[in-house]
Amino acid sequence: MPELPEVETVRRGLAQAMEGRLIKSVKVRRYDLRFPVPADFSDRLRGRRLMTLERRAKYLVCTFDDKTVMLAHLGMSGRMVIENRGHPNVPGQFVLKKGMHDAHEHIVFEIDNGTTIRFSDPRRFGMMLLTTTCEFSSHKLIRHLGPEPMEDTFTGPVLAARLKGKKTPIKSALLDQRVVAGVGNIYACEALYAARISPRRGAFTVQGERAARLASAVRTVLRRAIDAGGSSLRDHVAPSGELGYFQHSFSVYGREGWPCPGCDCERSVQRIVQAGRSTFLCTKRQR
C-alpha cells in the first residue's frame, strides 16, 4: 500500500512528465475501479492541457485548463508507469519502459509529446474521478481531510486542537484522516518513536510540548522518506519504469526483535496490535 511519501514521489515523477502538456487521448480499459470511472472520462480530458499536478493526502490532484480536476488514488496496488517511447534516455526524464502492457493496465493517457502514462492496478482499489476546481474542496473524499502534515501550518497547536477530547490511543488518532491527512501505519509508528510518545497513550493527553514534538516528528519522518524516495527513484527505479515503490530504512516499523536503534535501552523493538494493525515501539523510550 503506497504511503504518503510514495504518492509524493509518484506525483513528482508524473508532474515532470505531464505538467503543461496536452492530453492527446485517454483509453479506459476498465471502468469498475473502487469507484466507477465516469463514462465521459476520456471525452472530458481529451485535448485538455494539464496545468498543475498536486497532492492532497494520498490523492493526486490534476487540474486542467478548463478547471476540470482529476482526482486519482493508487489504492492498495496501483502503479503509474511513464513510457517515453519516442525519447529513450532523455536526461531528467523519470521513466522509460519498452512497450509492455499488462492485463491490469486500466487507464492509459497519451500526451502530446508521445509519452504514455499507464495506470495499472491489479486489485482495483484505486480510483480516478472527475470534479472541478469550484467543487474540489467540498468533494466528499476531500472535505473531511485534516491538515497536510508536510505543510508549515501543521504545528503542535494545530495537532493538539485536533486531539482534544479524543479517548482513542494516539496511534489510532494519527491514522484518522480527519486529524491529519495521509499518515498511514508505517509513518504513524515511526513518528511516535521519533517523538518518544507511547502509541498507547490517550490521544487527548498529547497536548502542548508533546503535541509540538509529535507534529515535528511526523513532518520529519515523511520528509526523510520523500528524500530517500527521490534518490532511490533516480538510482534504481527509472529502468523498470515504475514509480514510487522502494525500500526505506525504518527505525522500528517491521523490526520486531531487532535492537532499538535510538536509545540505550538494550531492548528489542516490540510489536503490539492496535485496532487490528501492528504497532512497533520501544517501551522504554516511548512514554
CA distance 213 to 221: 12
| In the complex, minimum distance from the CB of residue 262 to Zn ion, in angstroms, rounded to a whole number | 6
Provide, rounded to whole angstroms, the least separation between the CB of residue 156 and Zn ion.
24
Report if residue 285 touches Zn ion, rule: CB under 5 A.
yes
| 179 belongs to the binding site for Zn ion (CB under 5 A) | no
Q: Is 199 a catalytic residue?
A: no
What is the number of other CB atoms lying within 10 angstroms of the CB of residue 80?
Answer: 27
CB closer to Zn ion out of 216 and 270: 270
Interface with Zn ion by CB under 5 A: which range of 69-77, 79-87, 217-225, 252-260? 252-260
> At closest approach, how far in Å is the CB of 14 from Zn ion?
39
Applying CB under 5 A, the span of 88-96, 178-186, 232-240, 276-284 interacting with Zn ion comes to 276-284
Query: If binding is defined by CB under 5 A, does position 265 make contact with Zn ion?
Result: yes
Closest among 104, 125, 107 to 58, alpha carbons compared: 125
> Which is closer to Zn ion, CB of 177 or CB of 251?
251
DSSP output for 42-66 = HHHHTT-BEEEEEEETTEEEEEETT
DSSP state for residue 138 in the 8-state scheme: G
Please tell me the distance from the alpha carbon of residue 273 to that of residue 181, in angstroms, as a whole number. Answer: 22
Measured from the CB atom, is 85 or 284 closer to Zn ion? 284
**Is 277 among the catalytic positions?**
yes
Task: Select the span of 14-22, 132-140, 142-150, 265-273 touching Zn ion (CB under 5 A).
Answer: 265-273
In Å, the largest CA–CA distance within the chain is: 61
Select the residue interacting with Zn ion from 263, 268, 275, 287 (CB under 5 A).
263
Selected binder of Zn ion within 105, 222, 282, 286 (CB under 5 A): 282
User: CB under 8 Å to 91, separation ≥6 — which residues?
Assistant: none
Q: Is 260 in the site for Zn ion (CB under 5 A)?
A: yes
112 SS3 class: coil
Would you say 240 or 249 has its CB closer to Zn ion? 249
| Residue range at the interface with Zn ion (CB under 5 A); choices 48-56, 81-89, 142-150, 274-282 | 274-282
Q: From residue 65, how far is each of 19, 109, 165, 183 by CA, in Å? A: 11, 17, 43, 31
Annotation marks residue 88 as catalytic: no
- The CB-of-198 to Zn ion minimum distance in angstroms stands at 12
CA distance 233 to 223: 15
Q: How is residue 135 written as a grid cell? A: 467543487
CB 237 within 8 A of CB 253: no
Q: Which is nearer to Zn ion, 7 or 282 (CB)?
A: 282
Q: Rounded to the nearest whole angstrom, what is the least distance from the CB of residue 255 to Zn ion in the complex?
A: 11
Q: For residue 166, what are the β-bridge partners?
A: none
Per-state percent for the chain, helix, strand, coil, to nearest 5: 30, 25, 50
**Residues at the interface with Zn ion (CB under 5 A):** 260, 263, 265, 282, 284-285
Any idea which residues carry the catalytic annotation?
2-3, 58, 277
